[in-house]
Amino acid sequence: MMTIKTTNLGFPRLGRKREWKKAIEGYWNKNINKEALDKQLEVLHRDNLKLQSSYNLDSVPVGDFSLYDNLLDTALLFNIIPERFQGREIDDDLLFDIARGNKEHVASALIKWFNTNYHYIVPEWDNVVPKLNHNTLLERYRFALSLGINAHPVIVGPITFVALSKGGTSSFEEKVRQLIPLYTEVFHSLIQEGAELIQVDEPILVTDQAEVLKDITHEVYEAFNDAKVADKLIIQTYFEAADVKFLNGLPVKGLGLDFVHDRGNNLKQILAGDLSGDKTLFAGVIDGRNVWAADVALKQQLIEKLSEHVEDLYINPSSSLLLVPVSLEDETLDEQIKDGLSFATEKLGELEALKNLFNNNNATQFNKLKSKYETFQNQSFKNLEYNYNIPDQRSSTFEVRKVLQQQRWNLPDLPTTTIGSFPQSKEVRQYRADWKNHRITDEVYKQFLKDEIKRWIDIQEEIGLDVLVHGEFERNDMVEFFGEKLQGFLVTKYGWVQSYGSRAVKPPIIYGDVKWTHPLTIDETVYAQGLTNKPVKGMLTGPVTILNWSFERVDIPREVVQNQIALAINEEVLALEKAGIKIIQVDEPALREGLPLRSEFHKDYLDKAVHSFKLATSSVADDTQIHTHMCYSQFGQIIHAIYDLDADVISIETSRSHGDLIQDFEDINYNLGIGLGVYDIHSPRIPTEAEVTNAIERALKQIDRSLFWVNPDCGLKTRKEEEVKEALKVLVTSTQKIRNQ
């Protein structure tokens, strides 16, 4: 029997205790200098490489480690620099400014990485001259070699890179052709240094675009073959099935395929003989984007099937492990549940157990994992309860509701509001940590929250906002907060996952039936409403987002869990309404994120998502105004589903897309309330009055003035207090001037 080899596609850069995040933010806040930043990150990178190597991987990835984002790294490598940032030295400060913006220039757009909650920085091609800059990939490969680690470089492939870019006057093909000699030069440098494998990530080739990209893909890899580098390249795909027969025809060493999220289609193609014997297969057999332990017995059967059809087989996670937490080692969880979990480090252990089983006939690790999995599967919390009989349609049309809601609140022209959260200052985080660790009493903590809520109600009143929020100071994260309070969720202590830049989230784990057992947000919201005559929004997270931003169960259909969550959120919506809160925002920023990568599956997903949102929101009275919010994504594909949500007001990001989203509304008669985010909250820069005014005026060319709201593009929890105050003053001043025109 053949020897099974193991590898990895990428490892979380955050660190077990978010050391990466703390170092990066320490540099941004000028608490450490560049030398200290480099030293701290080098230690973390070294530890990541050594950790992976300790699991006897035959090859460890390098190039996955980044100061911000891998697509941005690739853009800087090839000089694809936004025009407004050109002319500067290519260094880390430039990288950070492109990603975050600075006082002079807005940041580049931020978009979800396929159907995940990770965000990438969109490369911009306007007036660029592609060339090879400082070869950081070669440096990182040399670093691994210096540690005695057998490594393979990882880079985003040219087809995917250009497909995820924007701007420029050249055609897609012309852009790709400009990059061919630059990629070739990088590949040559790595091969000369000793690289035997180079992982070229081309996930775009599992999407609908793959069909129209076949000609240019073939051209690119034939060019690499002519340059004598293709025999070291592995075309790596993930998140869906690829066209194996097409990829097999490319002159590369091997293919990387996802055998977890492929709906069984990659396996069918392998069994049909679509992969030739001279190709190496990198089989993604361990789930790279969820935290449940692998059914190693099932994986054993899969590997046996694959080994009958390929001569050179690597097994690895289905995608980069960037999408899961680092380690279970520091978690203090119920052992019954913990046995059923597997974070990034444990997934490497699963690969090692399978490798030892096949190569050494050593079943010790394998049997231990198999026993744990079987025990976990027999737990009583796997029972499923799912019954509902509530409305999934509002009782009246928006035209009727709009009149009643305006009679109730008498809001001004172009009402102003925020998305929900205000700065989570060091003091806020410290009080919450002290309360959770029983260092202060419930009474002390509740009084602190009241003081902070009152302070920010007063600030909002002074600035002149029309619809206020309580600030969400009691919440650590918009999904984790609900995971802590709803039955059926498990919240970890260190299960952090990178979302964008230094922003990390801690997704809860759905392990049992989801139920609402008590009010979740009533106390803080009602208290805030009692401080002002202006309306205060109730702030909730919607069922689609809670599901997409949690690690969901994989043993039952997603829509069943999603509808369970919807029923729980509906209970909270009705509790808020009963308490007198008549504007309620149910955020769904992840609705677009969960969209399947193949259009044939879109309708089913969107129908179920819309149904769940309506289950959560449709039971309210006509004069209760339902808001929702969505952030960084490409919305054109789902604009009709957004309309079908029937939310009275949707707030949506347009600042980083520089207003491009407005074009999506030209194709649909969108006659519901809408707020387009008029400034970028993820950048520390304060928007100018002209920028905000232009954003509003551009939107009003496409959207009826009576439907339009003015707001930032997302919550403000990550910003500093003075930044928030100054930016909101600009927002309100600009709006008031347009009202007076």
Binding-site residue numbers for Zn(2+) are 629, 631, 640, 644, 653, 714
Interacting residues of 187 by C-beta distance below 8 A, sequence separation 6+: 198, 224, 227, 229, 232, 233
Q: Residue 587: enclosing H or E segment and its boundaries?
A: strand 583-587
Token pair belonging to 388 = 């509902």
Cβ-contact 624, 377 below 8 angstroms: no
Backbone angles phi, psi at 666, to 5 degrees: -70, -25
Helix spans in 204-289 (H) = 214-226, 244-248, 265-271
> Cα(first)–Cα(last) distance of the chain, in Å?
79
CA distance 726 to 73: 32
Binding site feature residues for L-methionine: 419-421, 472, 587
Beta bridge partners of 539: 585
254-258 and 233-236 beta bridge pairing: parallel
CA dist 545 → 41, 488, 513, 565, 716 (Å): 32, 16, 17, 10, 18
Residue keyed to tokens 């929101």:
617
Q: How far apart are CA 255 and CA 334, in angstroms?
A: 40
Helices (H), 602-681: 602-617, 639-644
Q: Is 126 exposed, middle or buried (0-12, 13-18, 19+ CB in 10 A)?
A: middle
Q: How far apart are CA 733 and CA 727, in angstroms?
A: 10
Question: Is 438 in the active site?
Answer: no
Residues with Cβ within 8 Å of residue 139, at least 6 apart in sequence: none
Three-class HEC string of 416-480: ECCCCECCCCHHHHHHHHHHHCCCCCHHHHHHHHHHHHHHHHHHHHHHCCCCECCECCCCCCCCH
Between CA 5 and CA 313 the distance in angstroms is: 6
Residue numbers in the known binding site are 21, 117, 419-421, 472, 549, 587, 629, 631, 640, 644, 653, 714
Q: Which of 573, 391, 536, 549 is nearest to 481 (CA)?
A: 549
Judge whether 267 and 303 are in contact, CB under 8 Å. Answer: no
Feature table: binding site for L-homocysteine: 419-421, 587
Helix (H) or strand (E) holding 660: none
* H or E segment to which residue 285 belongs: strand 280-286
3-state secondary structure of 503: strand
Active-site entry in 45, 261, 470, 682: 682
Describe the crossing of helices 344-360 and 34-53 by its angle, rounded to 10 degrees. 30
Annotated binding site for 5-methyltetrahydropteroyltri-L-glutamate: 21, 117, 549
Residues near 490 by beta carbon (within 8 Å), at least 6 away in sequence: 333, 337, 483, 508, 509, 510, 511
Pairing mode of beta strands 280-286, 503-505: unpaired
Cβ proximity of 497 and 506 under 8 Å: yes
| Residue pair 322/65 in contact by the 8 Å Cβ criterion | no
Beta bridge partners of 716: none
Spatial contact of 355 and 56, defined as CB atoms under 8 Å apart: yes
The residue with tokens 């380690």 is 327
Nearest residue to 540 via CA among 510, 487, 576: 576
In order of 258, 416, 465, 563, 704, the CA distances from 711 in angstroms are: 40, 6, 10, 30, 16
Q: Which residues are catalytic?
A: 682
